[in-house]
Structure 1
Amino acid sequence: MQIRLTLLFFISLIMLMGADTKHLARNEAFSHGEELTFKVKYLFFNAAEAKMVTSPEIQQINNRPAYKIDVYGKTLSIFKIFKVKDNWGTLLDTAKLIPHRSYRHIEEGNYRKHEIVDFDHMGKKANVRLFDRENRNVVETQSYEIPPNVQDMVSGFYQLRTMDLTRVKPGETINIKGFFDKEIYNLKLIYEGKEKVDTRIGSYETFKFSPIMPNNKLFSGDNPIKVWITDDKNKIPVKIKANLVVGALDMEITEARGLRNN
């Protein structure tokens, strides 16, 4: 159960890292056709795999061009007894970098959830549709008020990649606002400075962040989560580490394809 919960948290953490608008710049970090692969290790075991995939094809929604971005997560090897096979996605405006639609298809053991959220940014509404277990029929429809230019779970991270992180000072806090699971969420990230990180795909100078976490029984110590993002034009996440009550969990990039910048 702990692996299942921490895998879900790790995938969510990547997506929750949206951008503080005062640091936004033009998108020169990513484009269509990008694919990032990560392995999640718990103790000495490869526990899970996550992928972040930007479709090669530009989509059209609300008469606007959009990136179709999917994040996939699944458990591996002996941890398949805690079966997780999830897909979060967004249709992200290529120019404004705000979501027009987000969706979730969740398989966790016997649990299923299928959801589509359509964002009406002009009307400041998020229109949520929940589907049945087989993802065939709508079983619930609700609308919620949202702040201007709110992000979803996936789009927020990709907006972060457009930030001018060179302007962030060590100790500075970045505030994030997004819509998820029928609520407006707030997350704070503390910038801890730069650090060199060795990965399977190379060595990188990185920006290091520490999310401020609420008290819970899953993690151990002060600021138990650390996130490293490359200090280059691509700004990809290469490593995440969490100190747990029992052991530690590490997520590291294993493959990066279709990057916008060499």
Structure 2
Amino acid sequence: AEQNNIKEPYMIKPGQTILLSDTYTFKTNNKTRKIFKYRTVKNSSFGVGEKLVFAVKYFGITAGFGILEVKNFLDINNRKAYLIEATAKTSPFFENFYKVRDVITSYMDVFGLFSWKYSKNLEEGSYRNNSYMEFDHEQGFAKKKEGDKCQIPPFVQDVLSELYYYRAVFTGKENELFIDVASDECKVYQIVVKKVGEEKVTVDAGEFDCYVVRPFLKYEGIFRQKGDVDIWLTKDKYKMPVLVKSKIVIGTIDAVLQEATVVEP
């Protein structure tokens, strides 16, 4: 069932008006109050229990494995949230040269499909990156583990939740969609995801009719690769990613779907 949860974040002075997206003001007893209104976004694309397993290939050789999983429900700020996890690791052979152990966790609001918080723990060779961010949508700021704060627009996404949000709102008709994404540097970027084609592809998990989409901003993610990325999403209601091609300095890295557990929302 949908949830229309409205909270009163704080009092403001009489006569003062603050205009923010998804808020409204009213006067009572000569005092003006600002009410934050949570949005509702329909989701027919994923649910708890979904698990997507990928082989990560470089020049056709399996270099590692990745898993995207919607693990369970949690309660955050009196609202229901998905616990979503992305993991990546190198295959035993490649660990002799370059060991990877990456975990990104996102806590995504079930009804509004925005991020409440996320953590990132990357171990790639000698490189380490451990970060944590919380998002206060009512007050309009993000807070890092170290205590640093930055302003955010309402309903911002993190580097993992943006994929799930896009799957839910993309119908196949849109040529481009814009998504506000917060990085662990406490900066907000606008990702432009463009539909660049349609194609039938065969991967380890089977044959799929797909939309091909491309995000037009480079950011850090699993395997810390930066460059052009194309994503093949199924043309059914799930918009399931079955193939991801990432260009690097030499060649491409392909994440190829091996098996999928699909669950209704």
TM range (shorter): 0.7 to 0.9
1:256 aligns with 2:250: no
Q: For residue 153 of structure 2, what is the aligned residue in structure 1? A: 147
Mean Cα displacement is larger for which, 76-85 or 27-36?
Answer: 76-85
Contact 2:41–2:112, Cα closer than 8 Å, also in 1: no
Superposition map of 1:15-94 within 5 A: 26-55=42-71, 57-80=72-95, 81-94=97-110
| 1:71 Cα offset (Å) | 0.4
- Structure 1 SS opposite 2:107: strand
Shift of 1:121: 0.1
- Whether the 8 Å CA contact 2:41–2:113 is kept in 1: the answer is no
Confirm or deny: 8 A CA contact 2:41 2:111 kept in the other structure. no
> 1:38 and 1:77 mapped to 2: Cα distance?
16
Shift in alpha-carbon separation, 1:164–1:42, aligned structure 2, 3 A:
closer
Shift of 1:141: 1.7
State the superposition RMSD in angstroms. Answer: 2.2
- In the other structure, the counterpart of 1:158 is 164
Question: Does residue 97 of structure 1 match 2:118?
Answer: no
Q: Give yes or no for contact 1:91–1:102 (8 Å, CA) kept in 2.
A: yes
Partner of 1:235 in structure 2? 239
Q: How many residues align?
A: 218
Q: CA deviation at 1:98?
A: 1.1
2:172 matches 1:179: no
Structure holding more helix per residue: 1
> Rg bigger for which structure?
2
How far apart are 1:195 and its partner, in Å?
1.2
Q: State the Cα distance separating 1:50 from its structure 2 match.
A: 0.8
The Cα offsets for residues 65-124 of structure 1, whole Å up to 9 and x where unpaired, read as 111000001111332121110111111111111111111122223443332211100100
> Which one-letter code corresponds to 2:113 in the other structure?
L
Mapped pair 1:197 → 2:177: no
Identity %: 30
Tell me which moved more, 75-84 or 95-104. Answer: 75-84
Shift, 1:243, TM fit:
4.0
Rounded to whole Å, the distance in 2 between the matches of 1:211 and 1:58 is: 28
Unaligned runs of 5+ in 2: 1-39, 219-224
1 or 2 for the larger relative contact order (CA 8 Å, sep ≥6)?
Answer: 1
The AA in structure 2 aligned to 1:74 is K
- Structure 2 match to 1:109: 125
Q: Is the 8 A contact 1:210 1:226 kept in 2?
A: yes
Measure, in 2, the Cα distance between the counterparts of 1:95 and 1:53: 18
Higher strand share: 2
1:137-192 per-position Cα deviation (integer Å, ceiling 9, x unaligned): xxx22111111111111111111111242322xxx333222101221122223212
Q: Helix, strand or coil: the match of 1:156?
A: helix
Q: Take 1:74 and 1:235, find their aligned partners in 2: how far apart are those partners?
A: 25
Cα 1:255–1:174 change in 2 (3 A) is same
TM normalised by structure 1 equals 0.76
151-160 or 191-200: bigger deviation: 191-200
Taking the aligned partners of 1:121 and 1:208, their CA distance within structure 2 comes to 32
Measure, in 1, the Cα distance between the counterparts of 2:42 and 2:231: 23
1:213 Cα deviation after fit: 5.5
Kindly state the Cα deviation for residue 225 of structure 1 after the two structures are TM-superposed: 3.3
Cα distance in 1, alignment partners of residues 197 and 101 from structure 2: 34
